[in-house]
Structure 1
Amino acid sequence: MGETPRVVTKLVGILLAWLPGLSSRFVLLVAGLFLALSVVMIMVASYLDLRDEEQRAVSDAKAIGATVSRLAVPHLTNHHYLILEQELESIAASGVVEFAQVYDPARTVTIDSDPDTSYFDETENHALVREVLDTGHDQLRQTRERVEIALPVRDMVSGDMLGTALVSVKRMPVNGMLLSIWGRNIVITLVLLVFCVPVTIHFAENFVRPINALTQAAHTVSSGNFDAPFPVDRKDEIGVLARAYRDMVATIRNNMARIHELAYVDPVTRLPNRESFRQHFNANMEGAGGKPNRVCVLFIDLDRFKRVNDSYGHDHGDALLKEVATRLQRLLDTRARDGAAGKESVDRKPAFAPLVARLGGDEFAVVLPAEMPMEDLRLFAEQLVQCVEQPLEISGLTMAVGASIGVSVYPDDGEDYTAILKNADIAMYAAKRTGGNRACFYQEIESDSHAHERIRLEAELKIALLRDEITIVFQPKIDCTSMSVVGAEVLARWNHPDRGLLSPGCFIDVAEESGLITRLGERVLDLACRQGRVWLDAGQRMPLAVNVSIRQIEQPGFTTRVLETLDFTGFPAELLQLEVTETVAMADPEQVSEATGPLLKAGITFAIDDFGTGYSSLAHLQRLPFNTFKIDQSFVSGLAGDHHSRSIVKTILAMAKSLRYEVVAEGVETIDQQAFLMENGCTTAQGFLFARPMPADRFEAWAAAFTRPQGAQADPASPDRNSASGCAA
């Protein structure tokens, strides 16, 4: 029995697969239901008709029996048996009545419709006749072949029973009756089916038509066309479904537009973003026929943007980026309209449309066909520089930034997008190293081995900061009068796993360019304060000087981080001195003063490093919180034979004395240099004459055993010189 449902399910599945259309399934379903209902109707109608036939046979028998009973009354009263016999024979001759008889109990005479018998014949009374004589009521008996009924014959006036009447009516055979009934009902069903099938098909088509329209719209949407019309004018459930589907598609369309915007449009400038730029470049690398297009990429980095962003806030920075983006797009549109440098033929169509994009931060890029001569590319790059460097009006403030541009050309400078963009970036950094606000072509810079080294060094420096490979050394400061150790300058070293201990000359420039100088400076300050606290706990009070980069001062929260480092390590603020180069101090005196003011109040002192190499203003010096000058070692090294250096050093010492500044001379390497400095009032000196930079443990031992050097001379060619830019430590 369990196999039957599975077979039915399988047959239904096969049928649905054979009839995939909704309209065909609907018509088939209605036809199947109609046929099933027809079969049920035929069965029920056949049963009811059979019952009606049976009831009709009984009714006919009763009617004929009543007729015979009424006919028999006068004949039994007058004993006219012969006439009654003739009438019974006439009734039986109609074919409906099988036989009829009347029994007269008074004379025990039976009159029947059989011509072969006579009322004089003695016959046994029928069982129903006897029951009527006994009960005086009608008696009925039915069999498959006939219906027999016996009724009393009563006097019409007195009501006395005169006799009995018996009638037997033949019944139609059941099989014949059913065939007749079924034939009639089947004909009716076929007539109805002929009428209903076209109506059903028409209704199915009208019902499925909006569903088909909705399905077609769904297919159109699935192919990517979200503007497909929907049959939403209906008021029924299909209309509700269509409106809901339309609203859903509208939401999807809006979401897709938003996703596309987030994926390919820069939110600040509304220019294409890095991914859109990459796809545009890759799509135009090859022209018709698979021949490579010459493609030029100009990598643009804004100069001095970070200073604007940090000084005036990100809102002003974003407004500046928008204005720069507008200028770049306008220049590109003008070039596309007028032709590069006015030399392109009007009839010549460019290989592809130029594109300007924002890659992130303050970096932009332009991609355009490189079909024009190199001179025209150079001219366009210079136009970009001039376009950016023009002053900008942002919220009533006049701002100015520059643009360092690196240019690389496909396929000359690289075989894919990654190589071209990397080389344009390298060329941009080359432009920055030469002062910025200019364009530099990758083909014209040095061998890219130096650039590759810079990139590799930057990646390794990031790992070094994570792995604590940065360490510090200490170069002592000596009081020129008492010849005692009065402090130390903290210098960074990189304990490189492959190249050994590296001095700052190997990695400071990379740290500055990549922005890692902030993390590097924080690491050096933390290590210095920790070591200073260790010495303080051991009873050795050692003032320490730590160099600070302009990137650190520009970084929001610089003051807070310095104070937090002191608080966390427990190193006293009055023992910490921060050194800022003269160039940095004079570049933005107001910002330096704002950043160092709270630190000065906390007790931290400040020194101007490399004093004499920049362009200091006495007015600015009076406002800045410095109390120490550090004479640059280039002047100290020239004291022996350069009278200009001697004059400059004397001037610095005299100015420091008048301003009550402390003075530290860097790079002291000879007794003569020391003597000159002491004669002219220099208070503190540091250099290889006294000691090279050394780790903390060696510094402790050296300071404990330090005595005045007697004619010692340092090796000027040593890579450990303060002024050395070599990588050996």
Structure 2
Amino acid sequence: MVFRYSQGVFGVPGTHGAVSKLIKVLSTWLPSLRTRFVLLVAGLFLALSVVMIMVASYLDLRDEEQRVVSDARAIGATVSRLAVPHLTNHHYLILEQELESIAGSGVVELAQVHDPARAVTIDSDPDTSYFDEMDQHPLITLSLQTGLDQIRQTGDRIEIALPVRETADSPVLGVALVSVKRLQANGMLFAIWGRNIVITLVLLIFCVPVTFHFAENFVRPIKALTQTAHTVSAGNFDAPFPVERTDEIGVLARAYRDMVGTIRNNMARIHELAFVDPVTRLPNRESFRQHFNSNMQLADGTPVRMAVLFIDLDRFKRVNDSYGHDHGDALLKEVAARLQRLLNTSDKVAAGKTAFPPLVARLGGDEFAIVLPAEKPMSNVYTLADQLVQCVEQPLEINGLTMAVGASIGVSTYPDDGEDYTAILKNADIAMYAAKRTGGNRACFFNEIERDSRSHERIRLEAELKRALLADEITIAFQPKIDCATLRVVGAEVLARWDHPERGLLAPGCFIDVAEESDLITRLGDRVLELACRQGRVWLDHGQRLPLAVNVSIRQLEKPGFTARVLDILEITGFPAELLQLEVTETVAMGDPERISEAAKPLLEAGITFAIDDFGTGYSSLAHLQRLPFNTFKIDRSFISGLADDHHSRSIVQTILAMAKSLNYEVVAEGVETEEQHAFLAENGCTTAQGFLFARPMPAEHFEAWSKAFLMDGNHPRLAVGAQPKGGSTFAA
């Protein structure tokens, strides 16, 4: 009866009389209107539920079929992608293991990959091997012929074959086949019907009677919580949650409140890490950049005149070296506090007159920067610069110790000295270095040094060097190292060269200083090291095992991640670590022996060796030498050049050789140009020499030809002086 009534509701003709009769019978049996209404709603609900079960069963069955096909296709695509490198390199065993792992998940019944190049079929069955002969699946054959995906559905499984390609346009490397079990329709229908019937009964028994009375009570707090969630998603983390409730809505509201509180705290922490210097609590470089850029122009696009003061502390490194980084950090905090107090005082004096608030930030290391409005005349900037110098030079009390540092300040003005933040900061940096070159503890304005041709040359050379690193204009040359006793080539020093498009081949002396000051030395050093290791690997593959020495700058050692970059380059190029030697000048090594030892430790463990370059020109301490990771001295060329007529040079060289022997160090003599120098070194126990007596620095292809000629000739030094292989000239020193 209920079913017939429901048909009438849905427009089936001839049911109006049946509905009337049903209502009359219910009115007779059940005098309560409430009971009749509930039964009527229950009947409608039951009829609609039957229809919904039928529709849902059909849709769920179709969705389940589509899901199985989609899963099979996705798994096939995964197998196809996995098979690309294995088919390319014919690594069948690894591929077989991966297929077995895929089949072991229980979803896939069978996974196969066919390699037509070798007529091999690799499958997921652990009882078979790709050595076994197997019948080729029809779908694999069809996919190979057409180059298209093939699918076949049977009563109990779905099989999909997909061509294996490196890219969509690449030729077919093979075919991946996946077979997935297909669920039985009867079983799925029974499961779907059972689930929907249970749901319907539960709703009919429990939900219908309660809905009319409690729906609004349930919906109202959910609506309030939803509105609060929308408010939070719009960025208002202070929106109130209905946490006073004691039911599940209150629990959910409190969970939301706690989650939003955690997100708020995390965002505050992220903002602090991104924009606040952890040592001084000043804004960091990124915050400074954003402050500058946000105040560059007025609303109408008019540039706002502003000055950037680049502050570098004088003699700060001496504090770090003498007292440690803890004292250095404390000094930075005190300087930051002084700068902030001075800027706050200046800001109060100019209150209401400035276009934007001044900002002091720590850019990194011992570098600070200030940006402030610079109205003409710039008396406020000149006054502040002088005050900053006087402020910083006052003695500081750090952990009970009295310390004194100075400040070299460079000032550049926007838009007079540059069109954007990068140019202004760079020019302020240039002005700061000009202040340092004149003794430090003073301020220098960029517009006062812009007529200096050397400044312009430095700027131009820096820009060209950046372009050269991008355009691969940096090359390397190799100067051979010769065994003093056997006159055999035992290694080579790698020297950077810049193949400048206008000036020709430039030696390091023309651009290393610029690279050091502009912080391009890290990229330059990485480039030279990578080129050296790649060439060393090429020679090693050709049977020539040649140790290579590469110079390392103090800026490279100071940069975080130096050790990781060296090891990455060795891994990428395949050059053995034991054939690589890193050269550090004596001045750098003795200036910060702890940093050198710390940076060198993992490299030593990897097999890399270290050498002290230009030994004898610095102030080496035997105590430091024992702790440092070096095993090679390189005697500076200034001592070698004086061996002929300078008694002091001969004594110094003999002393270095004796000390090296007692410490079990190897010695390399640089700048050997005469046979007399070579003879003296050999007589006094020098192991290795390099210099123009043997060869000038040369490119890799000339080095190979020179090595062969050098080994074949019996009169090595006379042959090598000024000599070069035919077919090309050597590099200039």
What interval of TM-score do these two structures reach, taking the shorter chain for normalisation?
0.5 to 0.7
> For the structure 1 residues 308 and 543, does the alpha-carbon distance in structure 2 shift closer, same or farther, using more than 3 Å as the test?
farther
* Residue equivalent to 1:329: 340
Taking the TM superposition and a 5 Å limit, the aligned residue runs for 1:208-247 are none
1:531 pairs with one of 525, 529, 535: 535
> For the structure 1 residues 402 and 605, does the alpha-carbon distance in structure 2 shift closer, same or farther, using more than 3 Å as the test?
farther
Shift in Å, 1:400: 9.3
* Residue equivalent to 1:140: none
The whole-number CA distance in structure 2 between the counterparts of 1:371 and 1:391 is: 33
> For the structure 1 residues 644 and 338, does the alpha-carbon distance in structure 2 shift closer, same or farther, using more than 3 Å as the test?
farther
Taking the TM superposition and a 5 Å limit, the aligned residue runs for 1:340-355 are 355=358
* Residue equivalent to 1:423: 427
Taking the TM superposition and a 5 Å limit, the aligned residue runs for 1:515-554 are 515-554=519-558
Shift in Å, 1:406: 0.6
Q: Structure 2: which amino acid aligns with 1:365?
A: I
Q: What does the per-residue CA deviation read over 1:439-473, in whole Å, with 9 as the maximum and x for residues that have no partner?
A: 43435547344333333333333333333332211
Shift in Å, 1:412: 8.5
> For the structure 1 residues 526 and 273, does the alpha-carbon distance in structure 2 shift closer, same or farther, using more than 3 Å as the test?
closer
Q: What does the per-residue CA deviation read over 1:65-96, in whole Å, with 9 as the maximum and x for residues that have no partner?
A: xxxxxxxxxxxxxxxxxxxxxxxxxxxxxxxx
The whole-number CA distance in structure 2 between the counterparts of 1:254 and 1:314 is: 41
Aligned 8 A contact 1:385 1:439 in 2: no
Shift in Å, 1:567: 3.4
* Residue equivalent to 2:393: 386
Gaps of 5+ in 1: 1-239, 284-289, 340-347, 716-721
> For the structure 1 residues 665 and 444, does the alpha-carbon distance in structure 2 shift closer, same or farther, using more than 3 Å as the test?
farther
2:603 counterpart SS class: helix
* Residue equivalent to 1:632: 636
2:310 counterpart SS class: strand
The whole-number CA distance in structure 1 between the counterparts of 2:701 and 2:623 is: 43
2:515 counterpart SS class: helix
> For the structure 1 residues 617 and 536, does the alpha-carbon distance in structure 2 shift closer, same or farther, using more than 3 Å as the test?
same
The whole-number CA distance in structure 1 between the counterparts of 2:275 and 2:431 is: 24
1:356 paired with 2:364, answer no
Aligned 8 A contact 1:493 1:504 in 2: yes
> For the structure 1 residues 645 and 416, does the alpha-carbon distance in structure 2 shift closer, same or farther, using more than 3 Å as the test?
same
* Residue equivalent to 1:468: 472
Q: Structure 1: which amino acid aligns with 2:289?
A: R
TM-score (norm 1): 0.52
* Residue equivalent to 2:692: 688
Shift in Å, 1:505: 1.7
Q: What does the per-residue CA deviation read over 1:664-687, in whole Å, with 9 as the maximum and x for residues that have no partner?
A: 111122233323333333221111
CA RMSD, 1 decimal: 5.1
1:708 paired with 2:716, answer yes
Taking the TM superposition and a 5 Å limit, the aligned residue runs for 1:472-487 are 472-487=476-491
* Residue equivalent to 2:370: 365
Shift in Å, 1:542: 1.3
* Residue equivalent to 1:299: 310
* Residue equivalent to 1:675: 679
Q: What does the per-residue CA deviation read over 1:155-208, in whole Å, with 9 as the maximum and x for residues that have no partner?
A: xxxxxxxxxxxxxxxxxxxxxxxxxxxxxxxxxxxxxxxxxxxxxxxxxxxxxx
> For the structure 1 residues 307 and 538, does the alpha-carbon distance in structure 2 shift closer, same or farther, using more than 3 Å as the test?
farther
Shift in Å, 1:568: 3.5
Q: Which has the larger radius of gyration?
A: 1
Q: What does the per-residue CA deviation read over 1:205-261, in whole Å, with 9 as the maximum and x for residues that have no partner?
A: xxxxxxxxxxxxxxxxxxxxxxxxxxxxxxxxxxx9xx99x9899967999xx99x9
> For the structure 1 residues 453 and 337, does the alpha-carbon distance in structure 2 shift closer, same or farther, using more than 3 Å as the test?
same
Shift in Å, 1:599: 2.3
> For the structure 1 residues 250 and 606, does the alpha-carbon distance in structure 2 shift closer, same or farther, using more than 3 Å as the test?
closer
> For the structure 1 residues 644 and 522, does the alpha-carbon distance in structure 2 shift closer, same or farther, using more than 3 Å as the test?
same
* Residue equivalent to 2:587: 583
2:499 pairs with one of 495, 499, 505: 495
The whole-number CA distance in structure 2 between the counterparts of 1:572 and 1:401 is: 45
Greater Cα offset, 556-565 or 649-658:
556-565
2:717 counterpart SS class: coil
2:718 counterpart SS class: coil
Aligned 8 A contact 2:232 2:238 in 1: no
1:571 paired with 2:575, answer yes
* Residue equivalent to 1:607: 611
Q: Structure 1: which amino acid aligns with 2:358?
A: L
The whole-number CA distance in structure 2 between the counterparts of 1:254 and 1:300 is: 40
> For the structure 1 residues 357 and 494, does the alpha-carbon distance in structure 2 shift closer, same or farther, using more than 3 Å as the test?
same
Shift in Å, 1:317: 10
* Residue equivalent to 1:180: none
Taking the TM superposition and a 5 Å limit, the aligned residue runs for 1:78-89 are none
2:613 counterpart SS class: strand
Aligned 8 A contact 1:266 1:358 in 2: no
Aligned 8 A contact 1:407 1:441 in 2: yes
1:273 paired with 2:284, answer no
> For the structure 1 residues 330 and 642, does the alpha-carbon distance in structure 2 shift closer, same or farther, using more than 3 Å as the test?
farther
Q: Structure 1: which amino acid aligns with 2:387?
A: F
Greater Cα offset, 268-277 or 480-489:
268-277
Count the aligned residue pairs.
463
The whole-number CA distance in structure 1 between the counterparts of 2:624 and 2:504 is: 42
1:663 pairs with one of 651, 664, 667: 667
Gaps of 5+ in 2: 1-223, 240-266, 724-729
TM-score (norm 2): 0.52
1:692 counterpart SS class: coil
> For the structure 1 residues 551 and 296, does the alpha-carbon distance in structure 2 shift closer, same or farther, using more than 3 Å as the test?
closer
Q: What does the per-residue CA deviation read over 1:48-78, in whole Å, with 9 as the maximum and x for residues that have no partner?
A: xxxxxxxxxxxxxxxxxxxxxxxxxxxxxxx
The whole-number CA distance in structure 2 between the counterparts of 1:392 and 1:531 is: 51
Shift in Å, 1:352: 7.8
The whole-number CA distance in structure 1 between the counterparts of 2:454 and 2:390 is: 29
> For the structure 1 residues 647 and 450, does the alpha-carbon distance in structure 2 shift closer, same or farther, using more than 3 Å as the test?
same
Aligned 8 A contact 2:308 2:424 in 1: yes
1:489 counterpart SS class: strand
The whole-number CA distance in structure 2 between the counterparts of 1:314 and 1:649 is: 37
Shift in Å, 1:434: 6.3
Q: Structure 2: which amino acid aligns with 1:638?
A: G
Shift in Å, 1:644: 3.5
Aligned 8 A contact 1:670 1:712 in 2: no
The whole-number CA distance in structure 2 between the counterparts of 1:476 and 1:407 is: 47
Shift in Å, 1:539: 2.1
The whole-number CA distance in structure 1 between the counterparts of 2:553 and 2:425 is: 29
The whole-number CA distance in structure 1 between the counterparts of 2:667 and 2:290 is: 54
The whole-number CA distance in structure 2 between the counterparts of 1:620 and 1:472 is: 32
Greater Cα offset, 637-646 or 528-537:
637-646
2:463 counterpart SS class: helix
Aligned 8 A contact 1:473 1:490 in 2: yes
Q: What does the per-residue CA deviation read over 1:597-647, in whole Å, with 9 as the maximum and x for residues that have no partner?
A: 232233322110011121111100001111111111122223344444333
1:559 paired with 2:563, answer yes
Greater Cα offset, 539-548 or 598-607:
598-607
1:546 counterpart SS class: strand
The whole-number CA distance in structure 2 between the counterparts of 1:350 and 1:294 is: 13
Aligned 8 A contact 1:671 1:713 in 2: no
The whole-number CA distance in structure 1 between the counterparts of 2:529 and 2:560 is: 17
Aligned 8 A contact 2:295 2:304 in 1: no
* Residue equivalent to 2:178: none
1:273 counterpart SS class: helix
Taking the TM superposition and a 5 Å limit, the aligned residue runs for 1:9-20 are none
> For the structure 1 residues 522 and 537, does the alpha-carbon distance in structure 2 shift closer, same or farther, using more than 3 Å as the test?
same
Question: Which of 1 and 2 has higher RCO (CA within 8 Å, sep 6+)?
Answer: 1
1:597 pairs with one of 572, 596, 601: 601
> For the structure 1 residues 630 and 338, does the alpha-carbon distance in structure 2 shift closer, same or farther, using more than 3 Å as the test?
same
The whole-number CA distance in structure 1 between the counterparts of 2:590 and 2:236 is: 56
Shift in Å, 1:491: 0.9
1:454 paired with 2:461, answer no
Shift in Å, 1:423: 3.5
Aligned 8 A contact 2:276 2:282 in 1: yes
